[in-house]
């Protein structure tokens, strides 16, 4: 299922959402300029789980160890990776920002990303594969959207073999189905070396964190 848009107007300009999309784009174009140095960039600024659990890693500088929890959220592994993530953020982020307010939305987004990274790292402690991407933070946005706008309609492209159909799906069904896919994919991949794969548990962690944090960030008056 591919979301095309939502039928859920926002009543303010999603400034922070636009800034986040722009920041991810700037970092991605910087990655494209790195050439053979790109892998080193991934290692240095992506989230490498073994960095936090192996004894030798504990002697590294605190900034070197913990900065990737933030920087990994703005790094992507290819055109499809960043386009898919930014498209979801564009569709769902504006309404969440509208309900939270600009400042609260920014901190909500970052905390969702941190929660996603923490769960992914803890469940793949021995992995030396960098985890990168904004999908953990965006999963938090989806969790908040589900709580705040469960009845909103998502205009969705449904590919069935070579036939494509466009239908309206409620947010609770669209996001609920999306989450179940992440959860069961995470279980299926447990214990596997998913080099070049998807950090399913980052999606799960970000999503659950997003749901839990809604009461803390939602403004007390309706917009």
Categorize the per-residue pLDDT at 65 as very low, low, confident or very high, splitting at 50, 70 and 90. Answer: confident
CATH code of the domain in which 63 resides: 1.20.1540.10
Is residue 222, in this structure, part of any structural domain at all?
no
45: pLDDT strictly greater than 90 = yes
Average pLDDT estimate for 205-220: 92
Give the total number of structural domains in the chain.
Answer: 1
Is residue 223, in this structure, part of any structural domain at all?
no
Is residue 13, in this structure, part of any structural domain at all?
yes
Secondary element (H or E) of residue 90: helix 79-100
pLDDT at residue 194, as a whole number: 47
Is residue 80, in this structure, part of any structural domain at all?
yes
pLDDT at residue 190, as a whole number: 65
Tens-place pLDDT, residues 20-34? 999 999 999 999 999
Give Cβ neighbours of residue 121 (< 8 Å, ≥ 6 apart). 47, 49, 52, 53, 131
Tens-place pLDDT, residues 162-211? 788 899 999 999 999 999 999 888 888 765 554 456 788 899 999 999 99
Is residue 107, in this structure, part of any structural domain at all?
yes
Tokens matching residue 38:
């790109």
- What's this model's pTM, rounded to 2 decimal places? 0.90
Tens-place pLDDT, residues 67-85? 999 999 999 999 999 999 9
Domain that holds residue 40: 2-217
pLDDT at residue 195, as a whole number: 45
Tens-place pLDDT, residues 81-105? 999 999 999 999 999 999 999 999 9
pLDDT at residue 223, as a whole number: 42
Burial of 79 (0-12, 13-18, 19+ CB in 10 A): exposed
Tens-place pLDDT, residues 100-153? 999 999 999 999 999 999 998 888 877 888 999 999 999 999 999 999 999 999
**Angstrom distances, CA of residue 52 to CA of 66, 75, 123, 127, 205:** 9, 19, 12, 10, 18
**Angstrom distances, CA of residue 10 to CA of 14, 99, 118:** 8, 8, 31
């Amino acid at each position: 299922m591919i979301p095309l848009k939502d039928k859920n107007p926002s009543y303010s300009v999603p400034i922070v959402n636009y800034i986040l999309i722009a920041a991810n784009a700037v970092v991605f174009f910087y990655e494209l300029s790195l050439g053979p140095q790109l892998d080193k960039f991934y290692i240095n600024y992506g989230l490498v789980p073994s960095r936090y659990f192996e004894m030798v890693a504990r002697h590294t500088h605190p900034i070197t160890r913990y900065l990737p929890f933030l920087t990994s959220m703005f790094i992507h592994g290819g055109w499809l990776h960043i386009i898919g993530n930014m498209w979801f953020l564009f569709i769902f982020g504006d309404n969440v920002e509208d309900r939270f307010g600009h400042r609260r939305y920014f901190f909500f987004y970052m905390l969702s990303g941190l929660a996603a990274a923490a769960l992914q790292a803890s469940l793949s402690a021995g992995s030396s594969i960098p985890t990168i991407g904004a999908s953990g933070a965006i999963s938090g946005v989806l969790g908040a959207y589900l709580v705040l706008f469960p009845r909103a309609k998502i205009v969705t492209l449904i590919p069935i073999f070579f036939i494509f159909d466009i239908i309206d799906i409620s947010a609770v069904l669209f996001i609920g189905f999306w989450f179940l896919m992440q959860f069961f994919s995470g279980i299926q991949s447990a214990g596997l070396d998913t080099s070049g794969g998807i950090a399913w548990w980052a999606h799960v962690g970000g999503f659950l964190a997003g749901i839990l944090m809604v009461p803390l960030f939602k403004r007390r008056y309706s917009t």
